[in-house]
Structure 1
Amino acid sequence: MDRKILRLLALFFFLVPLMTSCEGSSDSDEPNTATLVLNDVAKDTTVEWQNTADGPLLDVAQFMKGVGGRFLPVNMNTGIIAQYGKRIGFASNGYAYGMVQVQLCPMEPACMEDRGRLWAPLGFLAQVLDGEIEMDEEKRSVVVSAPVPLEVGDIVPESKGVAAALQKIGYTVQQGDICLSNAVEICSAGYSPNANGNNAGFPYLCIQAPLPPDAKHAILPVQFAYSLREDEGLVIIGKTPPPCDYYSYRSYFLNLCLSGSNPFERQKIYTQFGDPINSYNIQDDILYPSPGGSKVQPFESFFVLVSTPDRQLYDDVLAAVGEAGLDPNKVLLDIVDPNLIHLGNDDFADMINFLHRFSNPEDKGAGNAYVNRPTLEILRLTPNTPRAADFLAPFAPRERGSGQTEDYLMPAVDALRQAIISHYSGKYTIRELPTYIWLGKTGSEAINALEDVLGETRDTLYLNSGLFEFGKETVVVVYGVNHTAASKSVYNNVSCYGAKYFNGFGGITNDMYNATAAERFPNLSDVENIEKLYIWQFARKALDDQTFVVHQDVNRDLKGIDYDDEAFMAFRNYIDPGCPDRIGPDPDEIIFDRVMVLEPR
């Protein structure tokens, strides 16, 4: 009897843990699946989630399919690309920030790969949709509130007819967008090795191109970088900006794949494929299909721009524009030089970027409205049947020079130099730095040298100073000719840069420092042409209302320069108005800006 009881007890203690274990295993193996509810409508879609210490993550592929968007992994599952209408977001696994419409998006928690699938936080996906997402674990539902995605024609109605005409003749047409970007934020988030020597305080707009229609993954996470098959192209349709000092459009060679076996081994080059279309040359015959015909007006005027290496695609766009009832002579051409780049959509293709500069609008409100929602639509064109391209011949480079120099201003510059030394030498030691031509290489020169030229444009003459350590008490004095007042540029400015990441601060323009030399030194009033000279200061605290304050990088986001870090000054001079080719000034025709570094005695 005792033995039977012992056997029963032993069996009981064996079975209870086993039953409990089996029951628990059933619960833990059941995936965390939720019903997707989009704008109060339950979709026939389930989305898996998993919890982390920092919050839930959703299966990106399932979610984007459920909301009617597009998802692709980055090569080797190292990140994610998500598109909803025109809106495109990207993020690398483990990064603190992704980007949506090229604006920073906190990744809380960071996206990751698990079991061969990619997972992203709710906040990132909500930004891609421009909506809101709530997770209800008890009800097992993902509740999404989002606007209907924008389609072709919603921003520029004419683009709908052009797209339809292109589809009729055998093209797949996909929409992208053009977005305000911030080079410092892109760098600090880890998506660029530097801040491109950003023109501080001035907007850059760049195209976010959709991935090729047959792509299985993205080559790189950043969608302001794109590849093109030799028979593909991008089309911009819309209106030129509101009146401003300067704008331009140009495709760029962004980075070069260095390896035949490792697609991530790349060198950033960031050089233009040729001279830009700008607000001063936009009516030049060479840019149009029919010289002498109607032209695009510089401001707030309808245009179509084709960016491609392929003549057939260009001709097809001209025909489609006509088919849509529009004027083919409003079509401009941006040639992607096939001699400079390895075209294709394979993992080893070189990458392209398209940049739209826009500076100093006459009406600040109109300018802000334009950069926040440009009156432009972006189309990617892919022939349904691949073909060999009929390559376009690139335009000849434009020539600098007007024959007019600033030499007559040298006596005034020398007088200003002596006045500055006399004013500051009692309290400070003074070191005068040399000034050089900066970013002088372009196109094949930069590519062959494997040199990163930071998105330069020949519409500008760039100058920079030698390096200095920007200490706590350092004062930097910049001075020289206001080249706009001297009729050698349409606008010019000065900024201070961190030497390691080329992150810039200041953007002090000719309008801001106009006639400041005469104002600062009234004793120079009898010096001829002193009103065409300027002076400005960069320091750690405001010395007066003509000082730009450079703060420390307290948040580690590259929005400052730490004490004693190396720095340099740089100067931009856009478009010599006297130059027949309407391009940046000839360096032999201007007096280089000057720099003094002051330290307390």
Structure 2
Amino acid sequence: MIGKTPSGVKFFNYPTFMVFRTIGSERAMIFAGLGDSLNIGTIQAETGTDGFDQPLMIIYSADKTIAERVQSFAIAAGYPASMNHIKQIPSPMVNMGLEEDDESFGFGIRVGVFDTPKVQDQYMSDVYTMYRVYRLTPNQSQPLNPYPVSDLRIRGTGKTEFDLMPPVNHLRDAIIAAYPGYTYQEMKTGISFPESSQVMQNNEQAYGENRDATYLGSEKFTLKEGQFAVSYGVNHAAFGKVVYSNIVAYGAEKINGVVTGDNTQFEGRASRYIPDDPNAPMLYAYTITRTESDEPYTMNVPTGPYLEGIPLDEEMWIG
């Protein structure tokens, strides 16, 4: 794949997925991430730049000899070594080939949090011409030199946000107190999608999970006209744990994300409930409703059309 990296965003990466696998006589979608992704951080480290608007070539291969051969051809053709990146596909984990029952793969481009709506519109206009993908096949077969399973990057630092538990509980109590005329139901939250390597072993659906994100989510619930939900907790970006964080309203049946808010919109949202708490800037509170509203701190969930909304009688969840 040849192109250039995005600009005007907080994050981007290029995840690799094993998408379909044959199980018995059935073709099943697995949609599992394969190892770590090339992302803004790795490109910054490898190129010594800010990572934005950089020329890019990614060679996806399960064979070391083939990958390095293609890389040498690219450099000889004038593509700088600094733009060349090899994404190793772990041979022991996949079944490659061109037969109908072999596994199929997908190579994604993911961006997060545009600087301005204008930048977003420009990216969406340009993205279909930003990259070119070529499948290369050697003219002659040669001995295989498969890549092993690579070591994974360590995702955590050991530093937690548990010191903010008392302020989060304070925020919870303040939210409940702010709506004295309502009954409420609290939804449990947890990890929505386990790591792809675990899911692949069980031949289950990974839903496009990749290791550059942690997928947390609530229990399923319905949201009728006149009802609303409040998502609250730690603003992980303000705390310094992440590059960005967001919340998304998903349809439970189709797992279609229909509306989102990100940490650039979280500032001040907890302070309306706990204005005197010094930890409020580290927290957020976001209202999810069915009613069209221009009120700040509110996310309106549409009912359609089709994948662009969640019908009133269908379950949803907040990720």
TM-score if structure 1 supplies the norm length?
A: 0.50
- Indicate conservation of the 8 Å contact 2:195/2:211, yes or no: no
How far 1:494 moved relative to its partner?
0.7
- 1:24-35 → structure 2 map (5 Å cutoff): none
Query: Which of the residues 484, 501, 510 maps onto 2:263?
Result: 510
8 Å contact kept, 2:195–2:210 = no
Distance 2:8 2:87 in 1: 22
2:53 maps to what in 1?
A: 300
Whole-Å separation in 2 of the counterparts to 1:550 and 1:361? 21
Pick the aligned partner of 2:139 from 384, 400, 422. Answer: 384
Q: Does 1:430 align with 2:190?
A: no
* Conservation of the 8 A alpha-carbon contact between 2:9 and 2:115: yes
DSSP 3-state at the match of 2:132: strand
Q: CA deviation at 1:431?
A: 0.7
Mark the CA change 1:407 to 1:271 in structure 2 (over 3 Å): closer, same or farther.
Answer: same
1:400 counterpart = 2:161: no
**Secondary structure at 1:536 match in 2:** strand
1:177-232 deviation line (CA, Å, top 9, x unaligned): xxxxxxxxxxxxxxxxxxxxxxxxxxxxxxxxxxxxxxxxxxxxxxxxxxxxxxxx
State the Cα distance separating 1:329 from its structure 2 match: 4.0
User: Could you tell me whether the CA contact under 8 Å between 1:471 and 1:565 is conserved in 2?
Assistant: no
Residue of structure 1 aligned with 2:101, choices 333, 348, 358? 348
Look up the match of 1:457: 210
User: 1:469-516: per-residue Cα shift (whole Å, max 9, x none)?
Assistant: 222332111111111111111111111111111111221111112221
SS in 2 for 1:408: helix
Match for 1:441: what amino acid? E
- AA aligned to 2:194 is G
1:548 equivalent to 2:269? Answer no
Distance 1:469 1:304, change over 3 A: same
Distance 2:48 2:298 in 1: 44
Aligned to 1:372: 125
**Partner Cα distance (2:118, 2:300) in 1:** 26
Aligned to 1:562: 311
Q: Deviations over 1:454-482 (max 9, x none)?
A: 11111111111111122233211111111
Q: SS of the counterpart of 1:491?
A: coil
Shift of 1:318: 2.1
| Structure 1 counterpart of 2:172, from 395, 417, 421 | 417
Distance 1:327 1:561 in 2: 47
Please tell me the residue identity of whatever aligns with 1:275: D
SS at match of 2:19: strand
User: Partners in 1 of 2:162 and 2:54 — Cα distance?
Assistant: 39
Please give the secondary structure, in 2, of the residue aligned with 1:389: coil
Alignment partner of 1:242 is 2:3: no
Identical aligned residues as a percent:
28
Q: Which amino acid aligns with 2:238?
A: A
Q: Which amino acid aligns with 1:280?
A: G
Higher strand share: 1
1:8 is matched with: none
Shift of 1:308: 0.7
Q: Aligned letter for 2:183?
A: T
1:276 lines up with 2:37 in the alignment: yes
The match for 2:276 is 526
Shift in CA distance, 482/295, structure 1 to aligned 2, threshold 3 Å: closer
Pair 383,297 (structure 1): closer, same or farther in 2 beyond 3 Å:
farther
Query: What's the counterpart of residue 18 of structure 2?
Result: 253
Code of the residue aligned with 1:566 in structure 2: it is E
CA RMSD of superposed structures (Å): 1.9
Total equivalences in the alignment: 316
CA distance in 1, matches of 2:219, 2:78: 56
Equivalent residue of 1:280, what SS? helix
In structure 2, relative to structure 1, the CA distance for the partners of 1:297 and 1:542 (3 Å cut) is closer
Confirm or deny: 8 A CA contact 2:258 2:307 kept in the other structure. Answer: no
Counterpart Cα distance in 1 of 2:110 and 2:8: 13
Name the amino acid aligned to 2:137.
T
Q: Answer yes or no: is the 8 Å Cα contact 1:469–1:566 preserved in 2.
A: yes
Q: Counterpart of 1:440 in structure 2: which amino acid?
A: P
Distance 1:464 1:247 in 2: 22
Partners of 2:119 and 2:311 lie apart in 1 by: 36
Q: Aligned residue for 1:499?
A: 252
Equivalent residues of 1:472, 1:564 under 8 A apart: no
1:432 aligns to what SS in structure 2?
A: coil
**Structure 1 residue 517: Cα displacement:** 1.1
- Larger Rg over CA atoms: 1
CA distance in 1, matches of 2:116, 2:184: 41
Tell me the distance in 2 between the aligned counterparts of 1:335 and 1:305. Answer: 10
Contact 1:238 1:304 in 2 (8 A): yes
Partner deviation per Cα, 1:392-445 (whole Å, 9 max, x = no partner): 223211112223221222221111111111111x221111111111212212x1
Q: Conserved in 1, the CA contact under 8 Å of 2:57 and 2:84?
A: yes
In 2, Cα distance between the equivalents of 1:318 and 1:563?
52
- Trace 1:60-139 onto structure 2 (pairs within 5 A): none
Report deviation, 1:528.
2.1
Counterparts in 2 of 1:343 and 1:372: CA distance versus 1, 3 Å? same
- Aligned to 1:377, the other structure's residue is in SS state coil
